[in-house]
Amino acid sequence: MITEQLMPGGVKDPRVLEAMGRIPRHRFVQKGLEDQAYLDRPLTIGQGQTISQPLIVGMMTQALALTGNEKVLEIGTGSGYQAAILAELAREVYTVERLSTLSIAARRVLYRLGYHNIEFKIGDGTLGWQEKAPFDAILVTAAGPKIPETLKEQMAEGGRMILPVGSMESQELIFIKREGSQWKMRPLSECRFVKLVGEEGWSGE
């Protein structure tokens, strides 16, 4: 996965590569799919959600440029795999998931693997986690029609956010950095994610 997918795909940060090489991705996929865990493709985790392909996980994580002392917000706990990577690379991780069954399952796996710098919340991820803000980095693992203003406001000075934005058919990965009262944005790549459902995202219907 590291030498055949991540590095040729542009993931160069040694800390990201080391973390992704260390984490047992097969522990985060559904039973029966373990043999596909390290292929560069998304896999279903139930409830219409997926675990993203390794390359997109690596790209998004690398873009945050984590050094080890950050407080990070993740929107969309899903399987818990991305949270594990963030926990390896940052001081604290706060992860929000709207589907309670996924949040509970992810929590169970992460605790068994020894991660204790992650806090979990079940709720509307488009509203972030106001009580724990501001965040040095925010990573959103589902695509909304626009950038949630609430998440922008929860970024610390100098904070970075990466998220997919667009229609249900076509999306773009956007990198945002907060500089004072301004948010500087640049597109990274085209992508395809599940819907970001919530007050500042898509309707759940």
SS3 labels along 127-182: HCCHHHCCEEEEEECCEECCCCHHHHHCEEEEEEEEEEEECCCCEEEEEEEEECCE
Mean pLDDT over each residue of the chain, to the nearest integer: 95
Q: Could you tell me the fold of the domain covering 2-191?
A: Rossmann fold (3.40.50)
Domain boundaries, the chain: 2-191
The mean-pLDDT minimum among 97-111, 124-138, 189-203 falls in 189-203
How many whole angstroms from its chain centre is CA 159?
15
According to DSSP, residue 52 is labeled: P
pLDDT of residue 168: 84
Percent of the chain with pLDDT over 70: 100
Q: What is the rounded average pLDDT of the residues 131-160?
A: 97
State pTM to two decimals. 0.95
CA distance 51 to 163: 15
Cis bond upstream, residue 54 (ω within 30) = no
42-59 pLDDT per residue, tens: 999 999 899 999 999 999
Catalytic residues: 52
